[in-house]
Amino acid sequence: MKSITRRTLHTFEVPKDLASVTFRDPDGENPGAAGVSPSSVEAVWRSVEALYRTGVHPGIQLSVRHRGHQVLHRAIGHTRGNGPEDGPDTPKVPMTTDTPICYFSASKAVTGLLMHMLSEQGLVNLMDPVSYYCPEFASHGKRTITVHQILSHRGGIPAIPRETPIDVLWDRDEIWRILCGARPVEVDGAKVAYHAITGGFVLQRVLEKVTGASIEAYIDEHLRKPMGMKWFTYGIAPEHLTELATNYATGPRPVFPVSWVVNRALGGDIKTVEQVTNDPRFQEAVIPAGNLCGTAEEMGRFFQMMLNGGVWNGKRICREITVKRAIQQFGSLQIDRTMMIPMRFSAGLMLGGNPVGLWGPQSRYAFGHIGLINKMCWADPARDISVSLLNTGIPIVGHHLPALARFVYTVCKQFPLIPETQRPLIAI
């Protein structure tokens, strides 16, 4: 029988022996090659175990690279079967480092770089209006909204209309019709308002117009195959649906004003988000701002490529200047009018800050993206690290937040700032 605390906090039953639910890839961890001590590795992992013990993330994956070498590659918990509402007889599927998980909004970092790669190829000028490529987007005063404004969350269309049926998310033509018919809240790009879902569909339309191919084909040709990814696709193929990790609405249910912010940003309450994201129609769809699927290692690989100035395993994925343009701050630190918190954005990524920022203390050079509040994927050239923490809970506020913050702080502490002469060139 559940305890009152578990029912109130919507948590799962945490096993007493964490080793029994821990998966480690020993061949994927080489801290010695990066000069990282075993104590540093274990300190970071203990912070992940502390997060797991909060009971809000039934499954967690972690990949950490330093100086190009993977020093942590582990998983803990279950892919499915140990959620807050699962009974004791529900079959439990262990989480491994190979389990695909939906990145949610961390997908935006990847979609953003794709647009910068289009610019490198001369197919798009990011300062052009979207309507230059897709004239139908110009209606209702959106004629001057640029591709760059969409990338940097200044496009003036942060959300789809509230009365929009959820089925629209997996109907490409209908969502485009709605976005073309939308009236912007502004068009001058002066104010930041996080585009949770809308921006990705606009970028997809531009990409597909100028390439003549689907965004799935483009990412496959220019990122996934060259980098040797197994997953890393928008949505997941029907035959692999059973392998995709289940999402769980955990933690205390948000109340006003947090519930208002959640509905404003995500278009529904957290239980609705759980239902939608576990719906096969969402899982098989192409939602460029929110349903790229893959492992922590694959997202860590992506950010390592960016740290390398666009190179992976000796193969040029994009030019170094393309990476620099993708991570260059655009505008000042501002209160985001969707999330109601101060944010620094580039054209596609969430940036760190000094003396403290999203990616920890002294993280001015760090760049990455959060996925549905809890997934944290970033790179920090000043520490020469790429980090990908994926999880399956969807808690918004609650007792887990200190543990999540301690994880970021522990990573920064165990991988301190390195001399400027030893940093990747993109930090200069």
Percent of the chain with pLDDT strictly greater than 90: 79
Q: How confident is the model at residue 427 (pLDDT cuts 50, 70, 90)?
A: low
Q: What pLDDT is attached to residue 88?
A: 85
For residue 103, give both structure tokens.
Answer: 């990145």
From CA 30, how far away is CA 52, in angstroms rounded?
A: 24
Query: How far does Cα 211 stand from its chain's mean position?
Result: 25
Q: Over 50: is that where the pLDDT of 385 sits?
A: yes
Radius of gyration of the chain (CA): 20
Question: Which residues are paired to 248 by β-bridges?
Answer: 393
Amino acid, single-letter form, for residue 301 = R
pLDDT in tens, 149-194: 999 999 999 988 878 888 888 999 999 999 999 999 888 877 888 9
Which fold does the domain 3-98+293-427 belong to in CATH? Beta-lactamase (3.40.710)
From CA 351, how far away is CA 364, in angstroms rounded?
A: 7
Q: Over 60: is that where the pLDDT of 33 sits?
A: yes
What's the whole-number mean pLDDT along residues 48-67? Answer: 98
Domain boundaries, the chain: 3-98+293-427
Q: Where is average pLDDT lowest: 86-95, 327-336, 392-401, 402-411?
A: 327-336
Q: Over 90: is that where the pLDDT of 272 sits?
A: no
Strands (E), 271-374: 292-294, 311-312, 315-316, 334-335, 342-343, 350-351, 356-357, 360-361, 367-371
pLDDT in tens, 13-28: 999 999 999 999 999 9
Query: Are 124 and 147 in contact, with CB atoms under 8 Å apart?
Result: yes
Q: Is 19 helix (H, G, I), strand (E, B) or coil?
A: helix
Q: Where is average pLDDT lowest: 252-256, 259-263, 306-310?
A: 259-263
Q: Where is average pLDDT lowest: 21-30, 131-140, 344-353, 417-426?
A: 417-426
Return the number of other C-beta atoms located less than 10 Å from residue 370's C-beta. 19
From CA 41, how far away is CA 377, in angstroms rounded?
A: 18
Q: What pLDDT is attached to residue 266?
A: 58
Q: What pLDDT is attached to residue 54?
A: 97
Q: How confident is the model at residue 264 (pLDDT cuts 50, 70, 90)?
A: low
Q: Maximum Cα–Cα distance for the chain, whole Å? A: 61
Q: What pLDDT is attached to residue 1?
A: 47
Q: Over 80: is that where the pLDDT of 3 sits?
A: no
Q: Over 60: is that where the pLDDT of 259 sits?
A: no
Q: How confident is the model at residue 340 (pLDDT cuts 50, 70, 90)?
A: low
For residue 79, give both structure tokens.
Answer: 């892919």
From CA 214, how far away is CA 210, in angstroms rounded?
A: 10
Q: Over 70: is that where the pLDDT of 258 sits?
A: no
